Amino acid sequence: MALDPTKHADWEIAEDAEKNMKTVYELAEKLGLEKEELLPHGHYVAKLDYRKILERLKDKPDGKYVDVTAITPTPLGEGKSTCAMGLVQGLGKRNKSVVGAIRQPSGGPTMNIKGSAAGGGLAQCVPLTPFSLGLTGDINAIMNAHNLGMVALTSRMQHEANYTDEQLAKRNLRRLDIHPKKVEFGWIIDFCAQALRNITIGIGGKMDGFTMESRFAIAVSSEIMAILSVARDLKDMRERIGKIVVAYDRQDRPITTSDLDVAGAMTAWMVEALNPNLLQTIEGQPVIVHAGPFANIAIGQSSVIADRVALKIADYNVTESGFGADIGFEKFWNLKCRYSGLKPHCAVVVATIRALKCHGGAPIPVPGKPMPEEYKKENVGWVEEGCKNLIRHIETVKKAGINPVVCINAFYTDSDEEIKAVRRMGEAAGARVALSRHWEHGGDGALEFADAVVDACQEENDFKFLYDLDTPLGKRIDLIAREVYGADGVSYTPEAQEKLKRMEADPEMKEMGTCMVKTHLSLSHDPRLKGVPKGWTLPIRDILTYKGAGFVVPVAGAISLMPGTASDPAYRRIDVDVETGKVKGVF
């Protein structure tokens, strides 16, 4: 019998469930995989040779494609990963052939406040410790590939500063004339290290590098991670990595990794990382884990490759997009599906009574501090007011032509009247609404949820993008701001306005997707504005270019690519049993 989640921590539940895990060989047999398509990393984790699988099953029809998104979350998150795992387990209980496809967690939040995003309670991905602490090395490969690009850039700047053109030519180098104030790249590390946000490098003599200001970002914000998410195969990845802009020269021309002759070596670090990872839920359904989070600036999705594989080996693929539907689902809709060519059958909008109360007027909860007492008491009025936020996200899903299902991710403290209010208002907005208690009861608690998704997947939909690629960039930004966020319009800083004009005149930019950057804590750019803010304008302060990933990145508000570690981080409670080697406390 599974442990009671009201009495045991997630890591304890995971550790107990891992006693009965299926081996990767059993999972592979269940999925109909052939021996050479499975690349084991021990008994309970494996990589999948996506090339062999997709080639063998190229004529097999795809399964049903389900995305899990959410309402605007509180700072605590609303359990999308838990719901995704719960849905996979619920579909498994209904004897459906199902695979989950989720993102690999970052070491930053795992060792900080948020945790590893493996799910929670009786709806988790296991084995938890490998999942949370590096898995098969994909993020490490990203760090090596990215930092190699920075090594190539900084060493080239040093050599150009110390050698004449003739001396460079003898070394088979041409002068790139890199502008030290126009370096786009920085270094990455997979922790929340605020002390590294702004640094100075090259201090010492001329043999110690080129002296300049630099910075670190968290690993999962790297453009390499974004490329891993959208690449269709190794050839596509190699081409994309070669297009990464690392700096500009003194004539404002882009300097790419190809100019530095490092794109091939960077790709070499990523060859094995292209193969997605195979794990399982605590009830033994297969889960593919690939690519990483950080939906603020990247797409924050599991990879296109993972979804393509899952849709060939199972009848249902349950994937997840980061944050609320205004960010994660919008990028799933207009970026990921455009790159993959895949059309979803259903989108789940996760809602909690906790988040609805927050949008309805309750005090905003603070990570690491006790939940305000107001959340422990019934308040149907707050829930009804908060449902305006839910309805906005339902409308976003419907604009994509996709069938919405609202999952009420139930906490055992929720009241019947509060749940009835959400069901009534969600159904009135045109969504199926299902109550799910997967956190407390696993797959058995997700049967209503699973049935609603199955029903939604049987219906025809009319999937369509919000904009065509020939839509000018300014019009795209305005469409997203008005149609998804609910803004009255868009404003630009002079710098952003100048970049917009230049990009709209560049034919290459017309083929690139638009990857918006804003806070996940509000439909607006201001995290303090809850519910459905009215009478506001989206301020675009900058527009970045990720040519390798194929993104133009408008930035609204202040977004840090290097989060900070809080005063009471998770690592204070993580330790190792020195007798058994088991890790304790990861959640």
Active site residues: 80, 82, 103, 114, 295, 323, 411, 439
Six token digits for residue 545: 């270019």
* Number of Cβ within a 10 Å radius of residue 533: 17
Q: Which residues 6+ apart lie within 8 Å of 496 measured at CB? A: 540, 541, 542, 543, 554, 555
* Number of Cβ within a 10 Å radius of residue 18: 16
Q: Alpha-carbon distance 40 to 33, whole Å?
A: 13
Task: Give the burial class of 155: count Cβ atoms within 10 A of its Cβ; 0-12 exposed, 13-18 middle, 19 or more buried.
Answer: middle
What are residue 123's phi and psi, to 5 degrees? -135, 85
Six token digits for residue 407: 């999952």
Q: Among candidates 435, 379, 436, 433, which has minimal Cα distance to 406?
A: 433
Strand partners of residue 523:
none
Q: How many residues are given for the chain?
A: 587
Q: Decide the pairing of beta strands 432-436 and 403-409.
A: parallel
Six token digits for residue 302: 């599991």
Sign of CA dihedral 523, 528, 532, 534: negative
Q: Alpha-carbon distance 89 to 70, whole Å?
A: 19
What are residue 63's phi and psi, to 5 degrees? -80, -170
- Residue 379 and residue 368 in contact, taking contact as beta carbons nearer than 8 Å: no
* Number of Cβ within a 10 Å radius of residue 85: 36
Q: Which residues 6+ apart lie within 8 Å of 197 measured at CB? A: 215, 216, 560, 562
Q: Which residues 6+ apart lie within 8 Å of 166 measured at CB? A: none
